Amino acid sequence: MVVFLRCDSHIVLLLFEYTALAIGAKERQFMSAKIKYTDEPLGKMQVIPDFLPSPAELAYREDSVKVTLALSQKSIEFFKSEATKHHTQYQRMIRRLLDSYVDTHALTSRSSGTPRKRGAP
């Protein structure tokens, strides 16, 4: 491979070429190692139930409704900070939190058999 660099020193170009050769040599040596298989017993194994959602569940997107909601400044700052740490959107985190709350409490209110009145704790 020929690389052209604009520089005043030929030493930099030579060092680059030697480094490239050294890396390539190591890579070829690593990739040529053969795998040795044995017939040793694997030991105690355990079957783990499938916990991943199906592709249909991953593709499913719930209908959403836009609302205007006033939240406290500290809540918004918290969610924005956490969203930045986890590389996501803060609105998405709030939506998932609310969905989780609804899923948990919808099951609880259905299983008790008594409908909740509006404003009841």
| Cα gap 90→67, rounded to integer Å | 15
Residue 104: inside a domain, yes or no?
yes
pLDDT in tens, 61-70: 778 899 999 9
Scan for tokens 């998405």, then name that residue.
92
Residue 15: inside a domain, yes or no?
no
Residue 6: inside a domain, yes or no?
no
| Cα gap 86→96, rounded to integer Å | 14
What is the pLDDT, as a whole number, of residue 56? 79
Locate 87 and state its tokens: 């590389």
Scan for tokens 């590389």, then name that residue.
87
Residue 96: inside a domain, yes or no?
yes
Range of the domain at 75: 69-112
Residue 77: inside a domain, yes or no?
yes
Residue 47: inside a domain, yes or no?
no
Q: Which is more confidently placed, 38 or 109?
A: 38
Residue 7: inside a domain, yes or no?
no
Locate 24 and state its tokens: 């390539």
Q: Which is more confidently placed, 46 or 1?
A: 46
Residue 1: inside a domain, yes or no?
no
pLDDT in tens, 71-106: 999 999 999 999 999 999 999 999 999 988 988 888
Number of domains in the chain: 1
